[in-house]
C-alpha cells in the first residue's frame, strides 16, 4: 500500500514538473555560480582595500590634516586636498562586497551587521598596513620613471598644488618670497606680504619643506599663511645641485 502511494506521488511530481516545464540544473552550474560569487567577493574586497590604501597614502604625502593647524583659513585647503574620490570608490566596492556576502548562507546564520563590521575592519586594517608598507612610494617612483604608465592615473599626479594651498621644498630664497618645488618638480614662486602669517617663524632655509595657504596670482602663489612642515617628502630622484651664490635663509619679519 505504501509502495503504491510512493509510486503515485512520484508520478504526480513528474507530471507537475513536465507540465510546468521545470528543468533540472547540473551540480556544476551551482558550483560555477558559487565560485563566481566567491571570486566577486574576493575581488571587491581587494579593490576596496587598494582604493582605501590610496586614500591613506594621499593623506600621508599631502599632510591634509596639517592644513587645519592654520585655523579657519586652513579649512578650505584641507577640504580640497582630502582624497574624497578614492574613499568613495572604496566605499562602492565595500557595498558590492556586502551585497555578495548577503547571498551566502553565513549571512543568515550570523547577525549580518556583525559580519559587515568584521568586513569593514578587515578592509581598514589591510589598507592601513598597505599604506605604511612603503609599496605606494615604490610604485610612485616607478611611475615617475615611466616604467608603469598604466598606473599614472593612480600615482604621479600633481599633488602638492591645489587651488588654495601649496606644499613644497624651498629651493631658492628671493627678495619678497620663496621659490619652492613640489613633489613632481613644479617650481612656484611663493609671494610673502606684510599680512602673511608665520605660525612657525619666518626664517626659512633652502631644503626645508613648507606648507602655504593663500591664492594664486597668475603663476605665483600669494601666501596668506606659511609654515614649516614634516608631512611631505619629495620622491628620491638623485641629488640636486644647489644654486651657487643663493642665499640660505630668509631673515625678515613681516609686520
Cell digits of residue 121:
575592519
pLDDT, tens digit, for every residue of 237-246?
444 444 444 4
Quote the pLDDT of residue 175. 86
Confidence band (pLDDT; 50, 70, 90) for 157?
low
The most confident of 7-16, 106-115, 158-167, 174-183, by mean pLDDT: 174-183
Quote the pLDDT of residue 29. 54
Backbone CA torsion sign across 169, 173, 176, 181: negative
pLDDT, tens digit, for every residue of 182-223?
877 889 999 998 889 998 888 889 999 999 999 998 889 999
Cell digits of residue 190:
611663493
pLDDT, tens digit, for every residue of 62-93?
778 888 888 888 888 888 888 888 999 999 99
- Burial track 170-186 (b if 16+ CB lie within 10 A, e otherwise): bbbbeeebbbbbbbbee
pLDDT, tens digit, for every residue of 213-239?
999 988 899 999 998 886 544 444 444
Confidence band (pLDDT; 50, 70, 90) for 18?
low
d(CA 69, CA 137): 26
d(CA 141, CA 80): 24
CB 133 within 8 A of CB 173: no
CB 235 within 8 A of CB 137: yes
Quote the pLDDT of residue 34. 63
pTM above 0.85, yes or no: no
pLDDT, tens digit, for every residue of 45-64?
999 999 999 999 888 877 78
Quote the pLDDT of residue 233. 47
Phi, psi of 141 (to 5 degrees): -65, -40
Cell digits of residue 37:
560569487
Amino acid at each position: 500500500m505504501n509502495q503504491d502511494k510512493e509510486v503515485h506521488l512520484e508520478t504526480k511530481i513528474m507530471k507537475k514538473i513536465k507540465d510546468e516545464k521545470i528543468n533540472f540544473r547540473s551540480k556544476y552550474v551551482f558550483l560555477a555560480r558559487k565560485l563566481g560569487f566567491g571570486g566577486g567577493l574576493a575581488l571587491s574586497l581587494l579593490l576596496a582595500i587598494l582604493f582605501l590604501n590610496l586614500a591613506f597614502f594621499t593623506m600621508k604625502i599631502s599632510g591634509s590634516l596639517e592644513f587645519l593647524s592654520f585655523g579657519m583659513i586652513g579649512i578650505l585647503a584641507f577640504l580640497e586636498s582630502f582624497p574624497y574620490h578614492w574613499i568613495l570608490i572604496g566605499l562602492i566596492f565595500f557595498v558590492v562586497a556586502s551585497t555578495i556576502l548577503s547571498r551566502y548562507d553565513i549571512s543568515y546564520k550570523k547577525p549580518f551587521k556583525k559580519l559587515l563590521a568584521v568586513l569593514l575592519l578587515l578592509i581598514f586594517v589591510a589598507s592601513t598596513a598597505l599604506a605604511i608598507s612603503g609599496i605606494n612610494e615604490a610604485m610612485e617612483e616607478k611611475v615617475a620613471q615611466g616604467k608603469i604608465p598604466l598606473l599614472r592615473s593612480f600615482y604621479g599626479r600633481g599633488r602638492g598644488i591645489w587651488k588654495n594651498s601649496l606644499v613644497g621644498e624651498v629651493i631658492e630664497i628671493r627678495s619678497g618670497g620663496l621659490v619652492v618645488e613640489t613633489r613632481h618638480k613644479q617650481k612656484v614662486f611663493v609671494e610673502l606680504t606684510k599680512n602673511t602669517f608665520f605660525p612657525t617663524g619666518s626664517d626659512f632655509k633652502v631644503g626645508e619643506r613648507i606648507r602655504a595657504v593663500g591664492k594664486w596670482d597668475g603663476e605665483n602663489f600669494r601666501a596668506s599663511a606659511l609654515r614649516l612642515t614634516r608631512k611631505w617628502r619629495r620622491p628620491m630622484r638623485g641629488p640636486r645641485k644647489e644654486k651657487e651664490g643663493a642665499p640660505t635663509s630668509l631673515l625678515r619679519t613681516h609686520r
